[in-house]
Structure formats: structure tokens, C-alpha cells
A and B are shown apart, each in its own frame.
Chain A
Amino acid sequence: MTIPQAAYKVLEAIVGPDYISQDPIDCEAHTPGPNGFETDLGVATILKSPGCVIFPSTTEEVQKIVKTCNRYKVPFIPISTQWWSGRGAAKVEDALMIDLKRMDQCDIDDKHMFAVVGSGLIYSQLQEEAMKRGLYTTIPGGGSQVGVVANHILYGSSPLNYRTCIANRRILGVEWVLPDGEILRLGSCALDKDDYLWGEGIGPDLRGMIRGFSPGWMGSMGIVTKMSVKLVPFQPDKPMPVGISPDTAVELPLKRINWYNFILPSKDALVKAMYEIANAEIGAGLTKVPLFWRAIAKANNKEEFWELWDQESEETVAAMNVLRVLLIGFTSEKQLEYEERVLQDIIVKDLGGKQTRTKPTDESWVKNADSASMWMMCGGYTSLEFDFEAISHAVAKGVDCSKLKKGYTPPLMKAYGDQGWFQVGDYGHLALFEFLTYQDPDDEQKHKVDEWSVALSKMNIENRYYTAQLASHKPLFLTGPAYGPDYHKWMIRFKEEFDPDALSNPPGPADTDLFIQEAEWMQKVKDWPAPKIEANKNPKFE
């Protein structure tokens, strides 16, 4: 399994012999799985080991590599940290994996509050650099180990989105190597390649074409080599790290930043609280977490988790309407005091909620996000349903997901009717909804998880819910006609225009369609029309 040797020689000349390999050992090591995000699901059956791995260090090198791929028709796949491991893998044989980890630039303009970052830079690095300057970014639920560039392209959801919204709002200048190797610069760098100040236009704004909702192109529309991302003003006292692994946290400067936990008398009251808090324009984070996360936080290991979790029931889960609120005194300590008073008015006085104890520290969200611990309890974790829409949308969808899940439990972990995670974004104009599920990756019934994934798509379409799980994560030809309508046509048209030879991570955005086509056990759920997908060609819709 290799790429054409003539191509290899050219590529080797571009980066030097230390930064390229086609040794089967290196290629095998760069193959994700068997566990990881989606690598334990059916879609993994279409993943392939790369035929070659390369580490460029500059945009010019990336451009030359992509042009070489075009010359020799070598499919390529960019990766930043490969955390989204089921997608950071080739679906065709003999592909070139372009690992961008050497491109870890981080230049911050404090005054204009942006960071120009390369693909190798991760969130905790950026957050620390930002906080040193009195600014912050939002750590996504995917974890602090997530690539900043990739996350801004792909998703960008975090409890800190309460004020800042999802990351698409925070992309400024972009340097992007198109699938054919041409460099496209967006925003102010369209005018001056070194000026990353601003993101709009010129005229129609192409920023949305590099990303998507969600997860967008997943590497099938070229490579973003550099991006400037917005940072936002924080408060002046830097949270300081304390503790020894695994119990590490940042200590909050409590006069300026604090978490508050409340138990509301009912779910309705909890939802009302969310609306009211947002309407009062207070807060910096507002989230209702699934109950099993509390058990994860309390447990030292999976055995302890199961001891705790086995004590729960539908009743205890339904009764736990826990709201977590983060307040930050951006303006002054008095702001925090003021917001505490408003919070008390809303939750305690008006809605009969009770405040419970919280730690004076932050373990997850401000600097760190413990996404890896999601695998702790079952060994397998997948998030096959998430979106951003109105708070009421999140609430309704939670009920429906929870109902639907019953038919797929097991292999999904029992969650006693938990209705998912929701957190408010953009000051209450919307809320993230995420329905997390867990399974044992070696469970004999695990194909049912793939069916669950499709059932969710069908539920969304039927019940008219929005979802971030569109291409390339759900069948393009099932969801495409329903949303937009026909959003899939535009994706395919873009592919045809910018990547006619389907070299950039093929067959994106139809990965899931390919898997469903190939997987014998999926045929019983596949009841929508779709063309034949070829792994190394762009999908066609007519």
C-alpha cells in the first residue's frame, strides 16, 4: 500500500526525508482505531491505513504537496490532532495523510483580540496564551486537546458559548489551500496576506464555505493552513492550576468568577430559569448536564461509577433538575455581586430553586475539558445527536431522543430516561443540545448503534428538528433532500467545482452513505433513494 513512487520523491523533496514516510509501520500507527470517536462504530469498516504520511511545516509546503497530489492523483487527508479519529482517517487506499502538527503557530494581537493560529495548536495552549493577556477563548466539549483550527472549521461548541456562540462567529482571516492547490485568503488577508484582523467579505463572505454545520467538510475541501480566531475580553485575575493528576483544577478568583449550582423544582422551572437568566443578560455559562456526568465526577474509576449509577432510577434522574451557572465579573467585582442578586431573584425567589454547594475550582470548561473521560465508564462513547437551536427545541428533542433510545438499549448504556445535555448559547437566542450515548465497543449487538444513528436522522426529519449531524456524519442522501431543502446538492456542486477529481478526503461528504452502502447489516434500515457511492469519486445527485 503506497503512493506512486514518483509522487513520493517529489513529496520527499518538498519536506525533506525526516518528515515523510511510507513505511508500513508508520502508516499503521497513523491509522486510528479500533477505539476512539466513531472508530468503534460501523463507519470504521470503511477506514483505511494511509499509504504515506507527511508533515509539512509551512503553507508553501502544504500548497506544493496538494499540487503534487493533483499531479499524480493521490488522494489526501489533512489532520490536525486526529481526535475526531473516525474522520481523521482515509476511506480510500493509498492516500496521503497530511499531518499538520508542525504548524503550531500562535500569534496574538492583544489589542484587537485575535490569535493567528496554525493547525497544530490546541485549545489549552491558546486558552493559556489568551488568559495571560486578559482574554479568553471557549474550550469545546471535545476537549482542550482539540485543534483550534479544526474545531473552528468543524464545530466549536462549549458551555462558554453562552456569550460567544459557536465558533463560526469567531473565525476571522483564513488562509486556505484549496483542493487544487490554489491558496485562497479570506477576510482582511484577501487584501493583505499578513493582515488577519477581520473576516468579512470582500463582498459575499466565503467563510461559511470552509466550514459548515456541522461537522462540515471534514477535510474534503482542502486544507486550512492558518486562521485568525477571535478572542474575547476576560476579567483580570487568571485562574491558577492546583492539584496533582488526576485531581487537577483551576482555582477561581471567586470575586470575579464563580460557578453556581441550583436544583430546580421541575424541569419546566429549569427551562424557565434558562430563559430568564438569558433575558436578564447575566452570566457567562448556563448548562444542564446529564446526570451521569455527576457520577463520573464523583467516581475514581469505572467500578465506582457503576456502583453509583446502579443506584439511580427513572425517578431520581427525573427529579434532578440541576442547573449550573457561571458568572464572571467582567466589569468589576460588583458586576458579579449584581449578577448573584439577579440570579437569586430568578431562581430562588421566582422559581423556588435551591442553591447547592459548588467547588471553588473549575475542572472542566474554563481551561480544560475532560472529553477523554467520556470513555471511562463503558469503554465506548459516541455523540450521534447534537445541535444548536432554541432552548425549547433542545427540551423537546431531549424527550424524543430519550424515548427513541429505549429501543436501542442495550447496547447503549442505560441512562434512566436522561434527556441529554443542554446549554444556552448566544445569550439565550439558542441552546446546544447533545444526546450522548455509551456502549461497550465489543458488544455483540453493537451494530444496533449504527441503526440508532440512522433512526435519529429519521426522527429529526419526521419531527422537524434541526441537527448538527448532517453530512458527512449522517447519510447525505437521506438528510440532504430534507434540509434546505437539498443542501447536499450544494455540497456536491462545491466538490465538483473545487475538487473534481475527489482528492480531498474522498468520498466526503458522503462517507456515511458509503458505509451504509457497504454494510450488509444496514440494508434493513436503508429505505431512501441514493446513487451508488464510489470511494474515490465525488457523489452525484442526478
Chain B
Amino acid sequence: MDLKNELQKIVGAGNVLDSPEILEEYSTDNGIYPPGMPTVVVKAGKSEDVAKVINLANKNSTPVIPVSSGVHFQGCTIPYQGGIVLDLSNLNKILEIDPPNRRVRIEPGVTWGQITDELAKENIRVISPLLPHADRSVITDYLEREAPVVPKYEFAEPLMTYEIVWPNGEVFRTGSASVPGYPDSPAKGTNPAGPGLDFYRLPQGAQGTMGVINWANLKLEYLPKINKIFFMPFEDINAAIEPIYKIPRVHIGQEFFLLNHVDLALILAKQWPDDYDRLSDILPSWTLILTISGPPRRPEERIEYEKEALFDLKKQYFQDMPILEALPGVPGGGRELIHMLRKPWPKEEVYWKNRLSGACQSLFFIARPEDAPSFYEKVVDEAPKYGYPLEDLGVYLQPIEQSRVCHLEFNMFYDPDDPIEREKIRIMNRELAQDLLDMGAIFTRPYGDLADMVYEKATSYTTALKRVKKMFDPNNIMNPGRLCF
């Protein structure tokens, strides 16, 4: 029996798609990388399908490329070696909301758009990365270790436990969800650790190479009702660094991050392109954005002492730094950002990163905040060599875990329909990455072209990783060609 037939037996004929148009659709994404054609697309209808598809793929040594989100930017779902695209977007149930234990269990197809509204009804939320695309899968964003926009927690890992189909076809539940009979058990799945080993981080940053998640438990936090937002403008990125270290360290605030004028204008602009043009002109070069919010009990009092502490810090360390409650020249002072930050980017609008030119290549890595200025300098020095206009360079610095490190991101905008420009961006992305890597940038999730250069540098890790991968994926069926596999 051929592959298609067997797949149809698993998911039903309607869910096995191989028309040229569909295959074409899955052959590419919103990024800089060239297309690659899948053999077939399978839409999983229930989680049991997943293991069956993977077992079949193992039998046939066929690649499987799991896809959860409706939108992709980094090329990691492009099937370069053909095979089965396993589309999980129909696995989109919110399986459990458990407010007392502050957890939600969802399937991989659940998107930010879907979950945010649902949880808001109960005044709870999953803390998101900065303005995610409404169609992005919540699970995959955190599997891919996007940085949460709230750095106040001592550790930034919202993903707790999951059911995974390992590449060898074995179904496994991680952490405390591994108890017999879960979820019909006193164990709720809130402990990621174990069983036996700590499996939970293995599929993270794996770009689908380490298995397919059927569902996951994520942490919930309260959705604050009372909020304040503050803007700290800087002309020089160097001046922003000390506040970046000092403010979250004394437990002030919720959302906290630094944007340059380009990224901030892209986010704040209402009328396109007029607002953007005006805002990118008048906004300060850098703006540090901080929200202070009240928890469910005595919210005003909490806001009050945090605010007071913020101004004490200013008095003590950065007297010259303005702390503004509104951004001058911006309609509404930019205050609506508070509400924007608690939701994905509105579906009806072009995604903020795509507003300027239609597409965006983000180059990001982990770094010490204090090194951000020199990384920035480097990009500023190099970008013009590729003909990239500096006035279009977006920069986003997201402190992680009270600024022990930061996620530093350079956004390079381009026209996706212009193959030459796209190729130029690809080259620039690759070469800049090499420069930054040499300077000490920590690329923990190297996509596309970056994988080779990063793994080459990490030889012992690469060797061990390949040994582990072979154990879990003896036939190398899961998204082959990614990372170092």
C-alpha cells in the first residue's frame, strides 16, 4: 500500500492533501529561505493520529515535518527533504483551564489569538512574547523559547509538561503528567521535572526534530486590571543599560523591554504609513518601556510602592533619565500599549514586523545587556555594507529573568517578493550572525543558515546531541536537515 493510502487510513481521506497548490502552500514560509516541496500534507484530527503517522513514517523512512502555527518566519517548517508535513492546526482544543493551580492544558494548534480571549474571561493569561502573531501556536512559541515580555519572574519558562510522540513513535508524558492515567489523576502536570530524567527541555529549541507534542500544560498568571505604563527615552543605547539591570532586579514592574524608534513606531502607528513616518521621526532613538500592574489584592497599593521605588532608583542612580507617563507627540501618549501587550497583534492588521516592507528577518540571540551597545555598533557598522538603510533597522532588547541576560533582536525589513532583496538580506543575516557569534553572541536557537556556523563552533555539544538524537530518532525522520541533524 502506498504512503498516501496508509495515511488516509489513519486520518481519513479528507485530511491527506497532495494537490500541487496545497503542497506549494506548505513549501515556503514568510522568511528568507527558499522553498522545498513536501510529498504530502496530513492534517491530524486527533492526537492519537500523530503517533500513527510517525510510526508509519518510521516504517517508510519518510521525513515528518510538524507544523502547528498558521504562520512561520524562520524557515524551520520548509520540507527540504520532502516527506509528510504533519499539520497540527486542527488540534486546537483548550483541554483544561485550571485557575487554582494556574495552569492551562492546550493542544499545539491553539493560537495566541484563541487563548488570550478565552483566558481573559477568567482574568488570567499566559504571559506572551512581545506582540506575537495571532496565528502563532502558543506551544511552539515556547517550544522555540521565545522570550516572555515580562521578565519579573525568577525564571522564564512557562512550559510545564506535555505529551510527546518521540521520533521513534513512543508516546510519552513528561514531568508530573507522566503519572498513570493522566489527566484523570491527582497529579495536575505542573512539575516539568522527570520522570527519571528531565525530559522537558529536550524538545525545546529543537525545531521539530525531537518529536511532536500532542498537548502541553502552560503556566497561567493573573491578568492585571489596574496598570500604569512608563516610558524612559534615551538618545544613546548606552544610557539605557544601567536601568535595564537595576529596575527588574528590585522586582519592579511587569512588561519591561527596550525598543528603538523603528520598532516602536511600527507598533504604535495607527494610520499606515503616515503615522509611521511621523513617529519614526519624533520618537526617541530608544525607549525603555515598563508597566507596573496591580495583582488581584490591593492592586493600587502595590502599584504605589513599586512606583515609589522606581523613582527612588532614578534619584539614586539615573537622575537625568526622564520617566514619562506618556510619549510626547504620540496620540494617547502610547498608553494603549498596555492593552496591546496583553494580546497578540490584531489579526486584521498586517503583522507589525511586516508592516514596513512586507517581511522581516529577525536576527536574535542571548547576550549580556551590557554588551548590547557593542553588538548594536557592529550591526550599524556592517549593515550599510549590504546596502541596508540604518533608518530601517529595528532593534528590540528583551530582558530575561530580571536582566540576568537579554534577548537581543535586530529586525531587518525587506520586500518578500523581491528575490534579490531577499537574497541580500539572507547574506547579510548570515554574515552578521557570524560576526556577532565571533563577538560572543549566544545563538541558542540557530535557524536556517545559522545552524551550521553555530554547531561548528560547539563541537562537543554537537557530537553529544547527535548521539542523543540517534537514540530518539534512529531513522532520522523528524524534520531532517535542521540544526545538526
Contacts and interface: CB of A to CB of B under 8 A. Distances in A.
Physical contact A–B (CB less than 8 Å): yes
B471 A494 contact: yes
A341 B301 contact: yes
Contacts of A489: 170
A278 B401 CA distance: 19
Interface residues of A, number: 100
A202 B458 contact: yes
A200 B187 contact: no
A87 interface: no
B457 A233 contact: no
A463 B179 CA distance: 9
Please give me the 4 A-B residue pairs with the lowest Cβ-Cβ distance, nearest first.
Answer: A208-B198, A213-B194, A213-B193, A464-B185
A451 B155 CA distance: 39
Given A183-B460, A389-B190, A484-B178, A169 B155 contact: yes
A213 B180 contact: no
B442 interface: yes
**Could you tell me the dominant secondary structure of chain B's interface residues?**
loop
Interface of A: 111-114, 163-166, 168-170, 178, 182-188, 190-192, 195, 197-198, 200-209, 211-214, 216, 230, 232-233, 275, 278-282, 330-332, 334-335, 337-338, 341-342, 345-346, 387-393, 396-397, 426-430, 460-461, 463-466, 468, 470-471, 479-480, 482-491, 493-494, 497-498, 509
B353 interface: no
Contacts of A164: 154-155
A461 B180 contact: yes
B197 A209 contact: yes
B203 A204 contact: yes
Contacts of B154: 163-165, 169, 230, 232
Interface residues of B, number: 96
A301 to B, nearest CB: 38
A24 B426 CA distance: 66
Contacts of B345: none
Contact of A191 (B173, B179, B458): B458
Interface string B301-318: 110011011001000000
Contacts of B174: 484
Contacts of A334: 305, 308-309
A464 B442 contact: no
Nearest to B219: A429
Interface string B355-378: 000000000001010100000000
14 contacts: A165-B154, A200-B204, A201-B444, A208-B202, A211-B197, A213-B196, A230-B404, A233-B249, A396-B186, A427-B153, A430-B191, A465-B187, A487-B195, A487-B197
B468 interface: yes
Nearest to B253: A331
A183 B464 CA distance: 10
Contacts of B437: 191
B176 A388 contact: yes
A201 B219 contact: no
B197 A169 contact: no
B103 A429 contact: yes
Contacts of B464: 178, 182, 184, 206
B484 A335 contact: no
Given A275-B100, A338-B302, A206 B219 contact: no
Given A112-B405, A206-B461, A393 B186 contact: yes
A184 B458 CA distance: 10
B172 interface: yes
B444 A200 contact: yes
Interface string B192-218: 111111111111111101100000000
A331 B199 contact: no
Contact of A389 (B187, B296, B297): B187
A98 to B, nearest CB: 21
B168 to A, nearest CB: 10
Contacts of A278: 102
A275 B471 CA distance: 41
B246 to A, nearest CB: 10
Contacts of B251: 233, 330-331, 335
A392 to B, nearest CB: 7
A341 B302 CA distance: 11
Question: Which of B178, B301, B440, B442 neighbours the largest number of chain A CB atoms within 10 Å of its CB?
Answer: B442
B445 interface: yes
B455 interface: yes
